[in-house]
Amino acid sequence: MRSRVLRRLINAGGARSARQVAVIGGSGRTLISSCPLRSVLPPTHVSGPAISTSSSFASLFHVRTFSSSSAGNVCLIQSEEQFSSALNKIQDESSPAILYFTAVWCPPCRFMSPVLEELSGKYPHVTTYKIDIDQKGIEDKLSELRIDSVPRLHFFKDGKKVDEIIGADIERLKYTMERLYE
């Protein structure tokens, strides 16, 4: 498959000189540098979590949208109104909850998401609100909460923020959830 793509690139003029196409150390692995793959290959050949749209984001991580939330699941926040409503619900109902700030392009977030999904199943009484920081319209809320890096998790108990994790610290995540929600 790789050699077929390489031949297609060379025949299509994608590689203009011999120095743009190289074989790495006799391993047979091909390195293509300075080649705009997006313009040469059809979009269907370029896929993955890093280029997912927000609508496929939910299906990729098996999350439910905010409107279908129920105790113990992961809800994807898709607007400023949903974000405000989630914050109000957490504070007014004193519901145990986690705000998980993430981004599709963030490798540590992609590493952490499946672990958080698994832990969410272990603690069904805790609602996790997954917030993609690149979502349009939530900039003011992010600024208000001083969200300047991802992944970031805010843990709530009895309507109050009781802990925070910045970064993909899986062991601390497990410990914090066990300590707060068992």
83 & 7 share domain: no
pLDDT at 95: 85
Q: Does 17 score more than 80 pLDDT?
A: no
Phi, psi of 155 (to 5 degrees): -105, 130
* Measured torsion, CA atoms of residues 119, 124, 126, 129, in degrees rounded to the nearest 10: 70
DSSP symbols for 83-129: HHHHHHHHHHS---EEEEEE-TT-HHHHHHHHHHHHHHHH-TTSEEE
Structure tokens, 90: 């957490």
Nearest to 67 by CA among 77, 59, 54: 77
Q: Which amino acid is at 64?
A: R
24 & 63 share domain: no
Nearest to 52 by CA among 16, 6, 102: 102
Nearest to 97 by CA among 147, 35, 156: 156
d(CA 180, CA 15): 56
40 & 93 share domain: no
pLDDT at 65: 45
Domain CATH number, residue 110? 3.40.30.10
d(CA 9, CA 21): 10
Percent over 90 (pLDDT), the chain: 56
pLDDT at 58: 40
Q: Give the distance from CA 39 to its chain's centroid.
A: 26
Structure tokens, 18: 């011999």
Give catalytic residues, as residue numbers.
106, 109
pLDDT at 179: 97
Q: 44 or 75: which carries more pLDDT confidence?
A: 75
Nearest to 60 by CA among 109, 11, 5, 99: 109
Determine the average pLDDT of the residues in 55-63. 40
Percent over 70 (pLDDT), the chain: 60
Q: Does 45 score more than 60 pLDDT?
A: no
What is the number of structural domains in the chain? Answer: 2
pLDDT at 8: 44
d(CA 19, CA 36): 15
Coil/strand/helix, residue 157 = strand
72 & 38 share domain: no
Assign 59 a pLDDT band (cuts: 50, 70, 90). very low
The domain of 11 spans: 2-45
Q: pTM higher than 0.75 for the full model?
A: no
d(CA 141, CA 146): 8
Q: Which amino acid is at 36?
A: P
Determine the average pLDDT of the residues in 131-160. 94
Determine the average pLDDT of the residues in 160-178. 96
56 & 37 share domain: no
